[in-house]
Amino acid sequence: MTTMENAPGDAGTTTRAGARQGRLIPDPAVPPESPLEMPAQDFSAPPPQGPAFVAPSVEVLAARLISFGGALLIAGLGAWQMWAAFGTNIQLMQYVLLTLFTITFAWIGFSFCSMLAGLLARQQETPGDDGKARIAVVMPVYHEDPAESLGLLAALADELAALGMADRCEIFVLSDSRDPDVLAAEALTAARLRERAALPVWYRRRTDNAGRKSGNIAEFVRRWGGRYDQMVVLDADSVVSGEVIRQMSARMSADPALALIQTMPILVNGQTIFARVIQFAGRIYGPPIARGVAAWSGDNGNFWGHNAMIRVAAFAQCCGLPELPGRPPWGGTVLSHDFVEAALLRRAGWKVRLDWDLRASFEGSPPTLLDMAVRERRWAQGNLQHLRLIGGRGFTAITRAHFMIGVLSFLMSPIWLLLILAGLILTANVILSSPVYFPNTYQLFPDWPTFDARRMIWLLAASAALLLVPKIFSIVRAWRRPLAASAGGKSRILLSAAFEIVMSALIAPVQMLIQTRQICEILIGRNSGWESQVRKGSMPGWGVVLHRHWIHVAAGLVTGVTIAYLAPGQLIWLSPILAGLILAPLTSRWSASPVLGRWARAAGLLVTPEERTTPPIMAGSVNHARHLRVSGDATALLGRDTGARADYVALIPEQPPRSVPERLPAISAAAKIAVAEDQGQALSFLDRDERQALLNSPALIDDWARLPQ
């Protein structure tokens, strides 16, 4: 046994020879603990003492004036024009429509003004001195495809080693997996990664999933946080290049008040039409949007949960999250923890920044509309939960703005729906009721009903312009950059943008109703639960899409028939919404087709530069994933391969003391293994909990492995 020379602060850690490549790998699954206190925060108490606040620069103040002041100005102008269009004798429903329209107009106006503010965004500089910070790359995983996720880490390890950073970087795989169908494959893949990686790799599987992802990270910080200065947090389908880590580390080391650097992830690996539409939109429209957010956020930025570097000591000081009182969905674990962690860092004086210029940052996208709906259910609950926290002591005005933007990103769906319903009610009221010209008995002149249709048309045109001008600006921006050639040329970008606009128009009303239903579920107390995310979806059958979308089709047909009967002229304005609802099953099914996705790519539509020139880290991850993948049944492999079994047992977490009821699955598993004739029969005897008990016990694994194969 020898001492590792390439792990920071690692005296006494031993190594063993890798089974396949003969290199030295860490013998224990985890390094020696280096605890760091991470107290749970009290949102009503004064914040911990951090760096002194620095006044925002002139550019940041100007960007805020453009973004928020411009949005208020646009909202005021819109409300004034809507008021004028109603004329005199405004009815109650018109006041409702005016309120809803003003909120909607302010929302789209803010998006427009925020993009304009991006022109003032300052590009950060990377110091020449990289510093000597010790870095942990942490990837929480929960029932993922282990080869795909850990392949990303293997490619990142290669890049960090090539940059000469292997002596101060380590990788930590933080597993929350509990599914027995996943445990063996995940641990064996981690064992292979530990043998292949160019720097130390640690694997820890929790026995207690308290706090979900945020609890996973917090447990890591409390046990090993003192070992590292900085940590890069990834998702199971995301990665940043080694060069980006080098630059983030250098920037953070040069500014002792900087606690978090968020990069702008670029979507990659989209196969279906739905994923490719989101991927293309993010690539073309994303950079100007990110610049705008960075411009008005300044040092009061946000955290998106992954693809970011964090100063570990600051995170431990400020970001211990308590369990919220009450039951989910409003109480319990803080779901959208990333927003809250950024807010807690900032209220203590630490800088939180979006460095929009760091582009070698990648993540996957949801493959289908239905998969996106599942993700949005959890995001909606997490963002609405922020309404309980927005008044927390010490939060800055910009922090509260981040919270409200997150809340409104979901509340805008029911607001939009109510806006449409209010308009329909007003239309029906005009058609079905007789006007009263002399409401007063002794009135000399009649009250003529007034409504300025021309002014309303101009308001609709202004709304469309606020939505489309940022897209046009982004397209022109892409034309003027090398992005155009690598995305298929100007004509292909224009055609792709037109396709994206049509698809977005079809999907938007469906998402409006889906999100509205999700908001209603949260309001009546339904919890989202915790499910693993779908990374590679499949084309749903007709039965599935009809079951999920029949209500949308029915709403579109009933509304369309009613409007056609009462006011056929209104159909032209509602046709995009009605078409999206009526075609929802078709859109949902065919946008999930990988065949159509491949056709679009072959035709040069919705192509991004990363598809034409694959980033080295993504190409490397594909190669590593092929070698890391455990073929066949990973659990069965443990029974016939002594080396695989030894690798797996080395990574099993130590089980805490359990009560007799908690030990029942292990007891019954042992009894069933004792009477089984072979390994396969033993596995067939075990239920889910018993298989989990088997895979968590080296003794049970040994007993099972002694059976004939």
- Reported pTM: 0.91
CA dist., res. 650 & res. 643, Å (int):
11
Q: Dig out the tokens for 88 from the structure.
A: 């005199």
Give me the residues paired with residue 40 across strands: 320
What's the pLDDT at 439?
58
CB contact at 8 A, 211 and 188 = no
| Among 315, 177, 167, 320, CA closest to 236 | 177
Q: How high is the mean pLDDT of the chain?
A: 90
Residue 1 has pLDDT above 70, yes or no: no
DSSP run (H or E) holding 175: strand 169-175
The set of residues, in sequence order, having a beta carbon less than 8 Å from that of 528 and lying 6+ positions away, is 328, 329, 335, 377, 378, 380, 381
What is the average pLDDT across 353-367?
95
For residue 389, give both structure tokens.
């926290």
For residue 324, give the 3-state DSSP assignment. Answer: strand
536-546 per-position pLDDT tens digit:
767 899 999 99
Residue 24 has pLDDT above 50, yes or no: no
C-alpha–C-alpha distance, residues 271 and 611, integer Å? 11
Peptide bond between residue 435 and the one before it cis (omega within 30 degrees of 0): no
Cβ–Cβ < 8 Å for 261, 307: no
Torsion angles phi and psi, residue 676, rounded to 5: -75, 150
Of 683, 603, 677, whose CA–CA distance to 637 is shortest? 683
9 φ, ψ (degrees, to nearest 5): 55, 50
Largest CA-CA distance found in the chain, in angstroms, rounded: 106
The count of other CB atoms within 10 Å of the CB of residue 444 is: 6
pLDDT of residue 471: 93
Structure-model confidence comparison of residues 208 and 151, the more confident one: 151
- Tens of pLDDT, residue by residue over 476-525, are 888 877 766 666 688 889 999 999 999 999 999 999 999 999 999 999 99
Six token digits for residue 372: 């996106």
Q: What percent of the chain has pLDDT over 90?
A: 79
| Average pLDDT of the residues in 626-637 | 92
- pLDDT category, 440, cuts 50, 70, 90? low
Kindly report, residue by residue over 579-591, the tens digit of the pLDDT: 999 999 999 999 9
Q: Which tokens in the block code for residue 282?
A: 């993010």
Crossing angle of the two packed helices 369-385 and 490-523, in degrees rounded to 10: 50
User: pLDDT by residue (tens digit) across 650-660?
Assistant: 999 888 888 88
Percentage of the chain lying above the pLDDT 70 cut:
92
More confident residue, 385 or 441: 385
